[in-house]
């Protein structure tokens, strides 16, 4: 069978897609050179932003047109979008929890396989999230926080530690892992020529112990992705982020004190409901003060079912975009 995987969204999706790819290849299937040549098209989806959702739906619609010409073509839609909505006219629809079953559903026996030697390895340590940031769809589509058993993490880690250059521990909020600094320290003491990274962190759960462990063990990379989302206390409260700008700056100060060469990246949402020009200028000021290595800046995207979607004072889309463009430009100049 010739297959194509179309992957969208976060690093956890990249990880799932890589595993599916590996299992299909190990089962003797090959990657198709084009959609027209494929026997199966697998969409590993994301619905964090409305633009992503619309893009994926249009790509699925194109695949459905191909299916009309070639009824043997199998279309599988897995991941967040399939957990959120029904998609008609496709063969396989699986949410995030059973996404890996797509291999079995495509007619193959699912069996655990050793990971391919690779220079980068990704290991899930938590699934789901229950922080309910008011703009975010993830808790609704990925479910409550689940902690992966330590034995499973260790086993996967042992399989890759001697071949991977970079190993990423993944979760929507890795700091929610019980005693995360201890996990990090244990893994960082294993043999192997690797660098250990983790994604994503939540400022409300990120603590000084994690920073101390990062500073202590040379195998832990000096990079951190710490989504700030906005630099204004009024909006952070409306976002239900549970930290203040002062808390966030305090973490940055501690990181830089203990790890002078730390590389800090962040995410920022512009034009959240209720954000005035003055609120936005506070975010600009915070960004200028902190001097991130990089920032992923997005206009706020409404997600049906979230608290923020029902808030009053929605900011017009052109204002959201203009603010995001302004901040991108400020970041560009600073970098």
Contact set with ligand SF4 (CB under 6 A): 129, 131-133, 136, 138-139, 172-173, 202
DSSP string, 225-284: E---B-S-HHHHHHTT----HHHHHHHHHHHHHH-TT-EEEEEEEES-TT--HHHHHHHH
The helix (H) or strand (E) run that includes residue 213 is helix 208-216
Residue nearer to ligand SF4 on the CB measure, 181 or 203? 203
> Considering the complex, what minimum distance in angstroms separates the CB of residue 190 from ligand SF4?
28
Residue nearer to ligand SF4 on the CB measure, 128 or 181? 128
Residue nearer to ligand SF4 on the CB measure, 238 or 259? 238
> Considering the complex, what minimum distance in angstroms separates the CB of residue 268 from ligand SF4?
12
> Considering the complex, what minimum distance in angstroms separates the CB of residue 172 from ligand SF4?
4
> Considering the complex, what minimum distance in angstroms separates the CB of residue 133 from ligand SF4?
3
> Considering the complex, what minimum distance in angstroms separates the CB of residue 193 from ligand SF4?
32
Q: Report residue 164 CA to chain centroid gap.
A: 21
Q: How far is residue 141's CA from residue 84's CA, in Å, rounded to a whole number?
A: 6
> Considering the complex, what minimum distance in angstroms separates the CB of residue 232 from ligand SF4?
17
Strand pairing class (146-147; 126-127): antiparallel
Residue nearer to ligand SF4 on the CB measure, 132 or 317? 132
> Considering the complex, what minimum distance in angstroms separates the CB of residue 143 from ligand SF4?
11
Torsion of CA 39, 41, 42, 43, to 10 degrees: -170
Q: Which of 268, 273, 303 is nearest to 49 (CA)?
A: 303
Cis bond upstream, residue 271 (ω within 30): no
Are the C-beta atoms of residues 134 and 88 closer than 8 Å to each other?
no
Residue nearer to ligand SF4 on the CB measure, 81 or 185? 81
Q: Is 59 left (phi over 0), alpha (psi -120 to 50) or beta?
A: alpha
Residue nearer to ligand SF4 on the CB measure, 79 or 139? 139
> At 125, is the secondary structure helix, strand, or coil?
coil
Are the C-beta atoms of residues 18 and 103 closer than 8 Å to each other?
no
Residue nearer to ligand SF4 on the CB measure, 103 or 308? 308
């Amino acid at each position: 069978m010739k297959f194509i995987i179309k992957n969208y969204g976060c690093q956890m999706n990249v990880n799932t897609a890589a595993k599916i790819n590996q299992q299909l290849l190990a089962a003797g299937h090959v990657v198709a050179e084009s959609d027209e040549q494929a026997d199966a098209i697998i969409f590993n989806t994301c619905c964090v932003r409305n633009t992503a959702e619309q893009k994926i739906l249009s790509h699925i619609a194109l695949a459905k047109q191909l299916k009309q010409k070639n009824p043997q073509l199998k279309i599988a839609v897995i991941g967040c979008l399939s957990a959120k909505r029904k998609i008609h006219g496709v063969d396989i629809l699986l949410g995030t929890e059973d996404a890996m079953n797509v291999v079995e559903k495509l007619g193959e026996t699912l069996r655990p396989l050793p990971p391919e030697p690779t220079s980068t390895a990704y290991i899930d340590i938590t699934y789901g999230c229950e922080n309910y940031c008011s703009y975010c769809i993830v808790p609704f589509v990925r479910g409550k926080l689940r902690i992966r058993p330590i034995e499973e993490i260790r086993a996967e880690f042992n399989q890759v530690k001697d071949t991977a250059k970079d190993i990423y521990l993944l979760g929507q909020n890795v700091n929610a892992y019980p005693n995360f600094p201890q996990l990090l320290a244990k893994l960082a003491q294993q043999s192997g020529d690797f660098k250990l990274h983790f994604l994503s962190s939540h400022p409300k759960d990120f603590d000084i112990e994690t920073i101390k462990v990062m500073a202590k063990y040379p195998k832990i990379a000096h990079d951190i992705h710490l989504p700030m989302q906005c630099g204004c206390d009024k909006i952070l409260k409306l976002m239900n982020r549970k930290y203040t700008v002062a808390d966030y700056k305090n973490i940055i100060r501690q990181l830089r004190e203990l790890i002078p060469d730390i590389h800090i990246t962040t995410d920022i949402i512009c034009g959240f409901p209720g954000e005035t020009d003055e609120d936005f200028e506070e975010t600009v000021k915070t960004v200028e003060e902190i001097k991130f290595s990089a920032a992923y800046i997005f206009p706020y995207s409404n997600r049906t079912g979230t608290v923020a979607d029902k808030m009053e004072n929605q900011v017009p889309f052109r204002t959201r975009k203009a603010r995001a463009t302004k901040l991108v430009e400020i970041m560009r100049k600073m970098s």
